[in-house]
Structure 1
Amino acid sequence: MAKIKKGDLVQVISGASQTRGGDRGKQGRVIEVLVEQNRVIVEGINFVTKHTRVGQTQRGTKTGGIETVEAPIHISNIALVDPDSKKPTRVGHRVEQVTKDGVTKDVRVRYAKKSGKDL
């Protein structure tokens, strides 16, 4: 079961600090999870400059130029944020029994472990 999913609030826990121009300590929502590469794209984090070739659309308007987009960041460099304390925390799984239409099933559920001082 995945520890990080699309829509989760995460915090960058490694890399250059914000005083040195980095993203460590910043929080953002996960836009996309790239499972094959063990990377995630986080909203507002790890911006890169992308140069796109000038082209033309059907209406004749010009496209292209320089734009900034979020680049993927490795999953080991982020941590899930505990919704209660708003601090980075570890993720655990537990089995809960869910009854639906008279049938009881065991379902694995994610939960935020106790967050310490800093992760």
Structure 2
Amino acid sequence: MNKHRIYTTSFASVYPHYVTKAEKKGRSKEEVDEIIRWLTGYSQEELEVVIKNKTDFETFFAEATNMNPSRSLIKGVVCGVRVEDIEETTMREIRYLDKLIDELAKGKKMEKILRKEK
């Protein structure tokens, strides 16, 4: 089975689209970065290195050794597919990130996006 092409796409090539999507709705690059750091466990410096090195999505998630356990609370539909039903691990992680960026662009509060306890 061939890998989906998103796996070999550099994270750096998609990252500006995440930021643009957020900024068009009055949100910030800093909020996008906070979401990515929350999901992956990367520090801001590590995230900047990933972007600079044009790391592909598969490696980006494979090297994120501190994935947030609360990501399993992310539910909903992205591109017509329920994220919680995606069996392939890397694709599910990619769709989790897409869903979080969608929530940011829709104006959801950061506490809700980051699945923080009340």
* TM-score normalised by the chain length of structure 2: 0.23
What TM-score do you get using the length of structure 1 for normalisation? 0.23
Structure with the greater relative contact order (CA < 8 A, sep ≥ 6): 1 or 2? 2
More helix per residue? 2
